[in-house]
Structures are given as structure tokens and as C-alpha cells.
Amino acid sequence: MSELASESDKHRSELASESDRHRRELLVIKGVRLYGEGDPVDMLVADGVIADVGTGLEGPEAVDAHGLVALPGFVDLHTHLREPGREDTETIETGSVAAALGGYTAVFAMANTDPVADNAVVVEHVWRRGREVGLVDVHPVGAVTAGLAGQRLAELGTMARSEAAVRIFSDDGHCVADPLLMRRALEYTRGLGAVVAQHAEEPRLTAGAQAHEGERAARLGLAGWPAAAEEAIVARDCLLAKQVDARLHVCHVSTAGTVDVLRWAKARGTKVSAEVTPHHLALTDERLTGYDPVNKVNPPLRTASDVQVLREALAEGVVDCVATDHAPHAEQDKNCEWSAARPGMLGLQTALSVVVDTMVRPGMLDWRGVARVMSERPAQIAGLVDQGRPLAIGEPATLVLVDPRDSWVVRGADLASIAGNTPFEGMRLPGVVRMTLLRGRVTARRSTTGGGGT
């Protein structure tokens, strides 16, 4: 595992020269199972698209993919790349490497940078840096309100019409708490073909909150973050979205109650979609004993019963997709007392493995389902036309090869992100991303990990 970061660096430099060659030359992926279904096939990649699928295909460069599963490249609706402003924790470049290694081919970079991505200049900068790095499609998320202050709308139309073509707006980190402002944002974005992604947290109910309001937090003396603070906003926003016939996306659903609200809202025809993070699928507030802020995140880790309901909701489709809420933080902002620590966790490189561990292994999701929740649905929600496409002849060769039998041990220091704040430190997780392709170009490649399997 220790070669991971350096390996990715090497790949990146190789890719700069290799990319054009690959665009014209042929790559054959041998013996892969599409969506983990049927017999192994060969896949011919040429000119950025899947040129052929069959058996006995040959090409100048062959990739042995026996035992691997091919899925459409993952799309993350919720990533913090920290550039501009906190380049000491992550940059668009390092975040792109992490994304590619995690199997992602598109990420949405949240607006809470410094300066805030609430204008065309910042979103275009993010967009352009992402293109220069070229490992993953970096789509900036625009702020809903100027400066994330929750007072007045940012220039949503200008950002939508900019070169970055912003289609998701979010004040993530802050809730658009004012109901009138939220209503206006929903209405306004409807006309732009965009969606508002709400960080659902009623601020009056979470003043000073440090942990899920429950027995664990009460014993630890940590101020509670009640589930109702999320559920109340989700319910309100679903009503507003229905009222003005707009689309709503709910960020990082964390409670069983929110799942109930979403189920109800969808049943009555509300255009609402929702995401769940890998950590809310895997971890509970039991982790808080010991006060290690690596477990501090917003919304907070909840209870085992919430986790179970979230897994079921994801399998069922009530929660549409997985989004990482990848949130790099500097060592000094995590290795401190709990209340002083910043909330957030790394997620890009561990997301697939957590989904395999929590959803695939227990039989709640098959590989077709993984493609749905990590690629197809997020692409649809974001309106990306060239991501989350079927693995079929003529489609973009934007895909990921996963080794379902191998496993790896997470080490924050070995991850490509500058920060190392993973809550999965030291854990052995199943499922390894072997290769990621973005429109036919190899953006990440990982040899066997020695953890078994191939």
C-alpha cells in the first residue's frame, strides 16, 4: 500500500505523455465481467470510447482483467477539494488523484472555499484547474447565497452560464435556513436547469452541537445534534420543492427519520433526490468514546439503527446515491480537543470499499446496484450526459475496473490526499480499484495489493 501515493504521482507524469497516445491507440481489457455479470469478455477501447465488446479481441496494449468487475466511472456529488484557500489540506490536483484512485471520473467540488465559490470567477478557476489536471471531471458547485451567509442569493445565473456551467448549487456546511430564501433558490434554479443541494440542519436546533443527540453524547457530555434538526429541514424543503415544482437534492442523509420523509415526499411526486455518505453507512456514534475528532463529522455519526435504515433505503432507492462528503482537514484541526476540531472525513479512496463492505457483502446491493448508486444516479441528478453511461459499444470509455476479491488496509498517510483524516485508519476493507479510465485514458492504476485475490 505504501507505494500508492508515489505510484499515483508516477502515473500522473506518465499520463501527461501517454494520454494523447491512448486516445488514438488501442487498449484491450481482457477477461472482465461487465457489472460483475455473465461471462468474462474483452473490451476494446479506442478514441475514448468502447469500440468493441466480445471475445478474443486484440490490441497493442492489453490489460489482464480476469476476475475484475467493470463499472461505469463513479460520480461524486459531494467533494471538498479545498482549493482555493486551504491548499495545505487538499488541492484540485491531489484531490483529483485521490478521486481517480477511488474509481471516480467526475466530482463536484463544494463551494465553501476561500474565497467562496459564489461567483463566476471562482467557479471558472476550479473548472479550469480540474481540466488542467485532467484526471477527473471537476465540476464546481456554486454557493446558493453570497458568501454562504444565508442572506441573499448568489449570482446563480451567472455561474450557470459561465464556462463552468454550474448545475448544482449548495451552501454545504451551512443550511439555507431561511424558508423564503430557500423557496426563492428552488424556484430560481428551476429556470436554470439546476438543482439546489441542501445541507439540512436547522441551525437553531444545533447551536453548539457536537454529536448525535442520544445516550452516547449525553454520557460524553457533548451537546446534542438532534435528528429532528435534519428531518425538519428535509420535510420543509420537500414541501417547498413540491410547492414551486422545483428539484431538490438532499445532502448526506443521516437519520432514519429523513428516510421516512423522503419516502413520503417521493410518493407524492416531489422531485427530490438524496445522497448518503459511506461513513454514515458504516460508522455509529459508538466511535465517539475516547473523543478522537477523526470521528467528528457533520451531520454526526448516528446510531446503529439509523445505519441499518440508511443501507436499506439505499438498496431500495429511497436514497438515490452515495456521495463521499470528502473533507480533508489539517492535522492540527483534527488532533485537538473534540469541540475545537473541524468536522469532516476523507472519503474518495475508501468510498467503494465501504460500499462493498456495507452493501455488497451483506447482499443488499449487487454490482449493477453499485453502478446505479455510485455512477448512474449521481450523473442523472447532476445532469451529466457523458458520465454514468452504459458499458456498451459506442459509449464513452469512462469506467472503473474493480477487484472484488482483494482487500486492503487503509492508511491515511498513504492516501493521495494531503490530509490524512480517514476514520477507517487501520481497517481492512474489501474491494480494490485496479484501474480508472476517463474517456479512454487511464487515470489510475493499482497493482495487486498482496492482500489476496489476484
Which residues make up the interface to another protein (CB under 8 A)? 210, 213-215, 217-224, 290-292, 332, 335-340
Buried/exposed 392-415: b ≥16 CB within 10 Å, e otherwise:
eeeebbbbbbbbbebbbebbbebb
Known catalytic membership, residue 114: no
- Position 326: which residue type? H
For residues 214 and 423, which CB has a smaller minimum distance to another protein in the complex? 214
Q: How far is the CB of 329 from another protein (least distance, A)?
A: 14
How many CB atoms are located within 10 Å of the residue 55 CB?
Answer: 10
How many CB atoms are located within 10 Å of the residue 337 CB?
Answer: 8
Q: How far is the CB of 217 from another protein (least distance, A)?
A: 7
Find out whether 431 and 360 touch, Cβ atoms under 8 Å: yes
For residues 218 and 304, which CB has a smaller minimum distance to another protein in the complex? 218
Q: How far is the CB of 172 from another protein (least distance, A)?
A: 26
Closest CA to 78 of 206, 169, 162: 169
Judging by DSSP bridges, how do beta strands 49-54 and 41-46 pair with one another?
antiparallel
Distance CA 14, CA 16 (A): 5
- Position 385: which residue type? V
Distance CA 221, CA 288 (A): 11
Distance CA 310, CA 319 (A): 8
Torsion sign over Cα 424, 429, 298, 76: positive
Judging by DSSP bridges, how do beta strands 61-64 and 137-140 pair with one another?
unpaired
Find out whether 297 and 329 touch, Cβ atoms under 8 Å: no
Distance of CA 103 to the CA centre of its chain: 11
- Position 30: which residue type? K
Catalytic residue among 76, 118, 325, 357: 325
Find out whether 321 and 273 touch, Cβ atoms under 8 Å: yes
Find out whether 134 and 173 touch, Cβ atoms under 8 Å: no
For residues 343 and 404, which CB has a smaller minimum distance to another protein in the complex? 343
Maximum C-alpha span of the chain: 64
Contacts of 242 (CB under 8 A, 6+ apart): 265, 268, 269, 270
Distance CA 370, CA 145 (A): 33
Residue listed under C-alpha cell 488532533: 335
**DSSP-derived secondary structure for 61-91:** EEEE-TT-EEEEPEEEEEE---TTT-TTT--
Find out whether 196 and 185 touch, Cβ atoms under 8 Å: yes
Distance CA 45, CA 444 (A): 16
For residues 180 and 207, which CB has a smaller minimum distance to another protein in the complex? 207
For residues 38 and 290, which CB has a smaller minimum distance to another protein in the complex? 290
Q: How far is the CB of 176 from another protein (least distance, A)?
A: 23
Find out whether 79 and 107 touch, Cβ atoms under 8 Å: yes
Q: Give catalytic residue positions.
A: 325
